[in-house]
Amino acid sequence: MEFGQAVRRWRDRVRPEAAGLPAGGQRRAAGLRREELAMLAGISVDYVTRLEQGRATGPSVQVVEALARALRLDSAEREHLFRLAGLVAPGRGTIPAHITPGVQRLLDRLDSTPVAVYDAAWTLITANSPWAALMGDFSGTRGKERNVVWTHFFQPSGRVEPLPSFEASTVADLRAAAARYPGDTRLAELIAELRAGSPRFRELWEEGAIIPHASERKTVHHPQVGALELDCDVLTVPGSDLRIVAYTAEPGSSACDRLALLSVVGQQNLVG
């Protein structure tokens, strides 16, 4: 019951505009509605309700992490939420997935730019609405389906034309992550599955090349607005290995106009 009370208390604290949500209309909730928290955390409204009412117990590490992120908890609050769930917050030896308040504020201010945050293994943690409008809505995906490397080798969408350096650099990233986080069992399982199921991944893994990331121009094939030539930049957050990926267009270009249109579409879908 304490877990649910804490979630409700922190939910009341988060203003909708601080979470990138529209604040208009009549609101009975002091902060986020249950529906809004569920959307931000990627879980069902019914599950949020049952957690808050104490009718659901034993949430998984992934659910607690998602709630902590959606509720914008700091490190101490996040650890407390894990303790209330009877869990130990992932610590040293495992890949960090906690978005710091500073990174969250950065995302809030880039509300017209497609931005996503990945962990050190290239698993999607969160993305804003322009990203969802450009790349597709990932809110319903779970587990390995949120991992860029796994989907590239096993379930490619074809929306982004991969550059020659993409495969080598992401495989190198997984190699580096495995060295930094030897206690992360999910990372070890991911690499084992990729090596067993993808000859191309296995070839690149055995080559052992180290390919740094660089700013690149990519072509994104959108089903409604066509092909967009966009610049893709990857920023790494020191101390947490979070990767912030942003797509931007050259000012005055047709891609810039279509990207702006997609940003509006993304906000409309969010309101809807």
pTM: 0.73
Is the pLDDT at 6 greater than 90, yes or no? yes
Q: Do 256 and 204 share a structural domain?
A: yes
CA distances from 258 to 38, 88, 134, 228 (A): 30, 45, 10, 8
| Residue 228 pLDDT greater than 60, yes or no | yes
User: Do 139 and 132 form a contact (C-beta atoms < 8 A)?
Assistant: yes
Pairing of strands 226-237, 216-222: antiparallel
d(C-alpha 171, C-alpha 152), whole Å: 11
Question: What integer best gives the mean pLDDT of the chain?
Answer: 86
Total residue count of the chain as it appears in this document: 272
235 in the same domain as 137: yes
Beta strands in the chain (DSSP E): 115-118, 124-127, 216-222, 226-237, 242-248
Are 33 and 138 contained in the same domain? no
Give yes or no: residues 115 and 188 share one domain: yes
Number of domains in the chain: 2
User: In this predicted model, what pLDDT tens digit does every residue of 89-122 receive, in sequence order?
Assistant: 776 678 888 887 788 888 888 888 999 999 999 9
| 191 pLDDT above the threshold of 50 | yes
Q: Are residues 112 and 233 in the same domain?
A: yes
Up-side HSE of residue 260: CA atoms within 13 Å toward CB? Answer: 7
User: Does 122 fall in a domain?
Assistant: yes
Q: State whether 212 and 151 are in the same domain.
A: yes
Q: Of 261, 259, 121, nearest to 177 (Cα)?
A: 121
Buried b (16+ CB within 10 A) or exposed e, 122-140: bbbbbbbbbbbbbbeebee
Residues paired with 152 in a beta bridge = none
Domain identity same for 64 and 105: no
Are both 206 and 120 inside the same structural domain? yes
Which has more pLDDT, 269 or 178? Answer: 178
The residue among 74, 92, 133, 124 whose CA lies nearest residue 259 is 133
For 142, the domain range is 101-271
Band the pLDDT of 267: cuts 50, 70, 90. low
Query: Which CATH number covers residue 208?
Result: 3.30.450.180
